[in-house]
Structure 1
Amino acid sequence: MLLRMSPRAAALLMLCVQQLHASALLAVSSYEFTAYRMQQYAVQQEKHGCRGAIVQAEARSADEPVLTRRCVIMKLPDFTVERYLEALRQSAAAVLLLLPRNMSAVPQEIIQSFMVSESEALLKDTIMPVYVTPEDEQLLYMYEEVKHAAASRTSSILVRVFRSMVTATVFQILVSNTNPIKPITDNTIITLEGVLPGAGEDVPTIVITAHYDSYGLTPWLSYGADSNGSGVTILLELVRLFQKLYSKPHSQPPYHLLFSLTGGGKYNFLGTKRFIEENMDHAETSLLHDNVAFVLCLDTLANGDDMFLHVSRPPKPGTPQHAFVQQLEQVVSSRF
């Protein structure tokens, strides 16, 4: 069974600034923003993600030596495996990750490092809440302030005293949840299927499939342009092109073309598994029974200029798989 938890919450940033000149002046303000909780799910009794949701803690930089019962504020470059594990080890109250508005401007090495840390975080089951929110002016101001505060604590005593005399800033992160966290148990995985029938009787079937899911720390912020929006886009384009070929009797190939868009791809291809099981349960009417020439899965096709073809074993000459590889190599060599 696949269980998921509702990921969205409203967070409140409370700013307490004490400025000391001739007398003490206390200013208190608050700023509300939307944060998205790291996904929490269980697949076959194995739990992943964070179980915690409520936060009431002082904001601190990841550079601080003491993070216990603090909400650790990180930007994308700060969110490394080491720092995340350190927050867990010190029993931090929460982690708040500020996501850049323009991800295309982020250097690729930072993106790759974040993806590694993201995968590591999702493998673990933790009570520590992890929230993600897009950057804005107020949150970036808070980040810089707690960053400077962490730096001042490692500086000389004279600098620390001077800074504390000028201003002492404390940021409190408050996430309240009036609705109880309940599992979403009525998960429905939808598979879209279409067939272009081939010419002749009992002709073999070629299956072209892609999953349409995206995956990340927070599903609501995971758009999946490459994985797997690219696979879905190319599958739909292939449907459009082959439909023209199959619509004319003189150009109709002796192969059925079965197109399948499946869900649950990021949960161990759960939708694909159910799609196969459904076809096996109705073998007498299924195009997948006994006569499948080969299956082509489209995934992550927009990540650079290179194209990779993964096979379980090298295709033998004379098979449709071998012919496909040869044709693909010819097209690549003629165009690039």
Structure 2
Amino acid sequence: MFEEADNFADIFRFGIPYYLLITLPILILCSSDPVLATDFSVHRMSQFDVNGVSYGCRSSALNLEAKSLYTWSTSRHCVVTRFKDLSIEKFREIRAKAGGLVILLPKNIENLNEEEKEHLFLLEDAMISQASTIPIYFSKYNEELDRLIDDITSTNLKNSKGQNVRESALAEIINSISANGYQITVTGASHSADKHSKIPIIQGELAPLISIKVGGDQENSNKLPIIVVVAHLKTFGLYNEYPENSDVAIVLSLADLFSKLHNSVTAAPKYRLMFLISESGALLNFQGTKKWLDENTQTQNIDFVLCLDTINQPLSTKTNAIYMHVSKPPKDNTPVSNFFKHLKQSCITYDNVTAEGVHKKINLADNQLAWEHERFSMKRLPAFTLSSLNSHKDISKVTSFKYNNDVVLRNAEQNVKILAEALAKYVYKIEENGEIFSGVVNIDKDLIKPWLQVKSILHNNDLKNGFEKYLKNVKIIYEKPDTREPDFMLYDGQEAVLNFYRIKPAVFDLFLTVIIAIYLTGIYFAIQYFPKLYVSVCQMSKMEKVKSI
């Protein structure tokens, strides 16, 4: 029996050091396996090029340790924070030094005060106006992600003033070892250029069904003066989601109203109305409008071009006015001047709405145009933009944040009434006050509501079907980037899945390594000196027996 014990000890005496070299790394690797906490659907920050200038997020790969806005320090960290907690200064620092950024969007922007809204708009503008080399992702409000942000944020290291509170060294070591960490990975994202990207431009027109007598002669409808009503469909903003597109809903509502008039034999106006919607706004420098003008060089008999841009922006509550932006002040008794008089007269119906003119010259040195009408003005066409914003620099002009549909619908109904009345009085040359659209052609919310959620022609046929329902000579053209020197470029990989893995920090692995090493060392020495211990125990037991005898 003693010989068996010696042989057993001899086996471990020579084998344990090798077992240590093999077992220890295996145990360390097993202790570091991450556990999937949860995953979220996210949008990568928009990426696009305009006239050779890059904007938005330029990368997509993300596999980093998650840190809070207050605890990150290196490019090996991905900052996870709420949009409202992020400042412009912090964002610029993160963009320059961190490895990635994940932002939780507000739950409801309507619950924010004016100061908080302005902060969101300023931060949004700072993000989209430059290129960012780190991957940036946005998540719609999610309670689980909100809880994870609280978990990641080390609030116990902050006092009420936000200054660091020093604890004892032992307490900090214990906190470091017991803390939970998170690893963030992203699947399904890319940032490759979409060589097949294109911008749809759809147009249609209204003309009287029969020839109209002008001065005793039969006038062909093709020779009638033209009014062009223009809007752009925003297909993306700060991230890949449709922003507010009530401008397009108003244009389609006007098309619906005036189609009833043009289809009437007795009430048809002596004008042709052309409706134009391009799927490129200020972010893409109105490239769709540029394409349409390049293909329609024979633009004759145009009285004026009426562009709509953010006319229904409820997020801007500082004023309640409609601004007419022009590149050159209109002269008296010109079509633009006469329409402006009718617009002001229509606004009088609403006590809290005014119409004001804003003059801004076109700056050809700027990389991007201020308003869409400037594309037409550069072709010497009389044009203007109607907007609820008094400046193209207003930070809410290209916002991705949306308001409640009921608020949007109420504002859209009011703006449709104002524009329809002003346009009708102009084409019918009515000077006296009075309401034209009432009774059978009454304007209500049901007229506008179906068009508030209209999508791109590339996604469905709702916009095309709407044009074909109300208008004639519907035509769709596409603007595509040039293969050698593209004016614009869009990119793929805007939607992805964000995975959170629960892990222990590196200091925990070091602590576990020390504990395992101590344990195995104790076992080694216990087995190494087991024979001597056994002999000592046997001798002690014999002495006990001798004393008892």
Instruction: Provide the residue aligned with 2:279 in structure 1.
Output: 263
Task: Report the Cα distance in structure 1 between the residues aligned to 2:183 and 2:226, rounded to whole angstroms.
Answer: 60
1:40 partnered with 2:47: yes
- The answer (yes or no) to whether the contact 2:57–2:136 under 8 Å persists in 1 is yes
Task: Report the Cα distance in structure 2 between the residues aligned to 1:323 and 1:159, rounded to whole angstroms.
Answer: 78
The counterpart of 1:224, out of the listed 229, 240, 243, is: 243
Instruction: Provide the residue aligned with 1:148 in structure 2.
Output: 154
Deviations 1:74-130 (A, max 9, x none): 2121233211101123x2010100013333333343333222222222232232100
Shift of residue 218, structure 1, vs aligned partner: 1.0
Instruction: Provide the residue aligned with 2:175 in structure 1.
Output: 164
Instruction: Provide the residue aligned with 1:173 in structure 2.
Output: 184
Task: Report the Cα distance in structure 2 between the residues aligned to 1:159 and 1:149, rounded to whole angstroms.
Answer: 18
Letter in 2 for 1:250: T
Instruction: Provide the residue aligned with 1:62 in structure 2.
Output: 69
1:203/1:134 CA distance change after superposition, 3 Å: same
Q: TM-score if structure 1 supplies the norm length? A: 0.80
Task: Report the Cα distance in structure 1 between the residues aligned to 2:113 and 2:170, rounded to whole angstroms.
Answer: 34
Shift of residue 207, structure 1, vs aligned partner: 0.4
1:274 partnered with 2:285: no
Tell me which moved more, 180-189 or 258-267: 180-189
Instruction: Provide the residue aligned with 1:315 in structure 2.
Output: 330
Q: 5 Å matches for 1:1-336?
A: 28-64=35-71, 66-89=73-96, 91-149=97-155, 151-152=157-158, 154-158=164-168, 161=171, 164=175, 167-176=178-187, 181-198=191-208, 199=212, 200-201=219-220, 202-220=223-241, 223-225=242-244, 229-265=245-281, 266-280=283-297, 283=298, 289-304=299-314, 305-336=320-351
1:27/1:218 CA distance change after superposition, 3 Å: closer
Task: Report the Cα distance in structure 2 between the residues aligned to 1:306 and 1:215, rounded to whole angstroms.
Answer: 26
Task: Report the Cα distance in structure 2 between the residues aligned to 1:165 and 1:317, rounded to whole angstroms.
Answer: 75
Task: Report the Cα distance in structure 1 between the residues aligned to 2:340 and 2:73, rounded to whole angstroms.
Answer: 56
Tell me which moved more, 182-191 or 113-122: 113-122
Aligned to 1:257, the other structure's residue is in SS state strand
Report which of the two structures shows the higher radius of gyration computed on alpha carbons: 2
RMSD: 2.6
Count of residues paired in the alignment: 298
Gaps spanning 5+ residues in structure 1: where? 1-23, 284-288
- The answer (yes or no) to whether the contact 1:68–1:92 under 8 Å persists in 2 is yes
Q: TM-score if structure 2 supplies the norm length? A: 0.50
Gaps spanning 5+ residues in structure 2: where? 1-30, 213-218, 315-319, 352-549
Aligned to 1:209, the other structure's residue is in SS state strand
Task: Report the Cα distance in structure 2 between the residues aligned to 1:183 and 1:271, rounded to whole angstroms.
Answer: 19
Shift of residue 141, structure 1, vs aligned partner: 1.2
Deviations 1:274-330 (A, max 9, x none): 1111111xx3xxxxx232110100121222433222112222211111111111111
Task: Report the Cα distance in structure 2 between the residues aligned to 1:137 and 1:207, rounded to whole angstroms.
Answer: 47
1:167/1:61 CA distance change after superposition, 3 Å: same
Letter in 2 for 1:133: S
Q: Sequence identity, in percent? A: 28
Shift of residue 165, structure 1, vs aligned partner: 7.9
- The answer (yes or no) to whether the contact 1:61–1:150 under 8 Å persists in 2 is no
Q: Where is the helix percentage greater, Structure 1 or Structure 2?
A: 2
Q: Where is the strand percentage greater, Structure 1 or Structure 2?
A: 1
Task: Report the Cα distance in structure 1 between the residues aligned to 2:295 and 2:349, rounded to whole angstroms.
Answer: 41
Aligned to 2:304, the other structure's residue is in SS state strand
1:232/1:250 CA distance change after superposition, 3 Å: same
- The answer (yes or no) to whether the contact 1:64–1:150 under 8 Å persists in 2 is no
- The answer (yes or no) to whether the contact 1:191–1:261 under 8 Å persists in 2 is yes
Instruction: Provide the residue aligned with 2:404 in structure 1.
Output: none
Instruction: Provide the residue aligned with 2:410 in structure 1.
Output: none
Task: Report the Cα distance in structure 2 between the residues aligned to 1:150 and 1:133, rounded to whole angstroms.
Answer: 26
Deviations 1:236-264 (A, max 9, x none): 11111111211123222221110111112
Shift of residue 33, structure 1, vs aligned partner: 1.4
Letter in 2 for 1:127: T
Shift of residue 206, structure 1, vs aligned partner: 0.6
- The answer (yes or no) to whether the contact 1:59–1:172 under 8 Å persists in 2 is yes
Shift of residue 215, structure 1, vs aligned partner: 3.3
Letter in 2 for 1:327: H
